[in-house]
Structure 1
Amino acid sequence: MSKALFKMEVKANYKLFLLFAGILTLYVSVISAMYDPKLGNSLNEMAQSMPELFAAFGMSNPGTTLLEFLITYLYGFLFLLIPFLFTVILSYRLIAKDIDQGSMAYLLNTSYSRKQIFLTQLFVLVLGVFVLLLYACSLIVVCCEVMFQGELELLKFLVLNIGLFFLHLFLISLCYFFSCLCNEAKYAIGFGAGFGIVFFLLQMLSQVNDKIDWMKYLTPFTLFQPDALIHYEANGFAGILIFAFTSIVFMVFTLYRFKQKDLHL
């Protein structure tokens, strides 16, 4: 890994990070403040009035505890989509743009090897998503301790967010694969974002109606099971292991393809 390249990329992309951190700050603070066990019946009535819409976004059951409420309104959609969009954009800026514009070939003419460049850019991407999720989770803890002291089950919350990170690690490996594989940025973004959006849509559709719940087997998001994680069930941890394994396989294969790739000027 190159320290100089790492510092350069961090300076070039910190504003993007701040933008997404600001978006998460807004959603986290507002939704955390909405928690009120007394409103559970009202939220259930609202969900029953529009069952398909609430089910599509994984919000059909607000739960009875603070953690269950957060899972319903943050971890069912927002904490999946927002960090994923950050991944798509940052992956483009780190590698796809340089390949598309031909500047990657010039970068390789420096003292950096392909492996160094690959690992440095990948590390910036993983670190960026990790810090973004860490910030969002820390903000949740602060908000909950200020407004609902002692109600957030911290150990279960930690396990939940470990699972969330490994889900996003898989999405990172997917986007990075297409960013390295494609010669044109439009295809890198199209395939990376496209597969992720299709996975989101399949997940949403599978939750709308029991007749099409078979679609959940077509999307990796099914492997992320917040309820199973907070209850320490085996299928929840199995999802984490699958995400970890597939991410490593994707990254190793992507490195191999990147080292063999013909880069144009």
Structure 2
Amino acid sequence: MNRTVLRYSFLTNAPLLAGAAVVIGSMVLSLAWLFPLLSADATYTEMLETIPEQLRQALGVSGDQTEYFGFLTANYYNSLHLYFMMALVLLLGHRLVSKPIDDTSLNYFLNGSLPRASYLIARLVFFLLASVGIAVVSLVSMVVGQLVFDWGSPVEWRGMVVLNVNLLVLFLFLGSVVFLIRMLTKTGVEALAGSTGLVIFQYFLSMVEPLSPHLSWLRYLTVFSLFDVDRHVGNTGVFLAVVVGLTAASVVVSAISVHLFRRKDLFL
């Protein structure tokens, strides 16, 4: 791993990550502020109950709205946060690997002392660090929001940690796939289009699956089915299996990307 590339990755992507952190923190704290108002509002609860259960699950708004953790999960983390993270992973992947490969000639690696593998590994490590940073911001925002706006209730540490770790390993895997797709395509535009299509299709399957019992088999075709906080909070074994499995898959996919990058044709 090359520290210069790692440092350059930070300098060029710091504004994007800072903006992402501000958006996530603002969204979580805003909902935390609304929680005491909406959780006690019978009209809001009754309105949600008029929506069929299958549709609520598809939209991600199912859960106990009277508890802080359940309220945040149902109104943000099961929907808006996923959309935001999908966009962030696609954009960050494009900035870290697609655009640099398009702009970097073969002579850069032939005439310099920087091996291709070190270059890509540094980019992958930065993506890992950025993802961990986003997860920490999310977790801290959840805790601060409860301490400020719902201070009388015990903090749901287990649920918050499980949720953010689950999201972390999920999007680390998707990020590694974004890197791999760039290694398999000729241009960054093709890679971005392919990555975007794949991620959206995966999420679409996860939305359609709860709508009918006959579509339950779709959960085996989408990685988003592994984001199941309610199940993971109550079953440590399943949660650890998901974390280990997605982490291992991310490492394998990243290793394949590094191998392909060593052999990838670059313009002179």
Length-normalised TM-score, structure 2:
0.89
CA distance in 2, matches of 1:170, 1:40: 39
Could you tell me which residue of structure 2 aligns to residue 45 of structure 1? 46
Q: CA RMSD in A?
A: 2.1
1:181–1:258: 8 Å Cα contact kept in structure 2?
Answer: no
Among the aligned pairs, what percent are the same residue? 24
Deviation at residue 53 of structure 1 after TM alignment: 5.1
Residue 16 of structure 1 aligns to a residue whose secondary structure is helix
Deviation at residue 152 of structure 1 after TM alignment: 2.1
**Match for residue 139 of structure 2 among 128, 137, 140:** 137
CA distance in 2, matches of 1:124, 1:184: 22
**Match for residue 229 of structure 1 among 229, 232, 235:** 232
Deviation at residue 153 of structure 1 after TM alignment: 1.4
> 1:134-160: CA deviations, max 9, x gaps?
112211111111111243211332233
CA distance in 1, matches of 2:83, 2:70: 19
CA distance in 1, matches of 2:44, 2:236: 27
CA distance in 2, matches of 1:183, 1:72: 40
CA distance in 2, matches of 1:229, 1:72: 16
Could you tell me which residue of structure 2 aligns to residue 175 of structure 1? 178
Gaps of 5+ in 2: none
1:40–1:64: 8 Å Cα contact kept in structure 2?
Answer: no
CA distance in 1, matches of 2:183, 2:19: 25
| 1:1-40 → structure 2 map (5 Å cutoff) | 1-36=1-36, 38-39=39-40
Number of residue equivalences: 264
| Matching of residue 110 in structure 1 with residue 112 in structure 2 | yes
Length-normalised TM-score, structure 1:
0.90
1:28–1:140: 8 Å Cα contact kept in structure 2?
Answer: yes
Deviation at residue 199 of structure 1 after TM alignment: 0.8
| Matching of residue 239 in structure 1 with residue 242 in structure 2 | yes
CA distance in 2, matches of 1:193, 1:80: 14
Compare 31-40 and 245-254 and name the one that shifted more. 31-40
1:2–1:120: 8 Å Cα contact kept in structure 2?
Answer: yes
Check 1:176–1:236 CA distance in 2 against 1; reply closer, same or farther (3 A cut). same
Compare 199-208 and 18-27 and name the one that shifted more. 18-27
CA distance in 1, matches of 2:49, 2:227: 25
Could you tell me which residue of structure 2 aligns to residue 203 of structure 1? 206
Gaps of 5+ in 1: none
1:229–1:236: 8 Å Cα contact kept in structure 2?
Answer: yes
> 1:193-214: CA deviations, max 9, x gaps?
2111111111111123334333
CA distance in 1, matches of 2:96, 2:32: 33
| Matching of residue 56 in structure 1 with residue 58 in structure 2 | yes
Deviation at residue 233 of structure 1 after TM alignment: 4.0
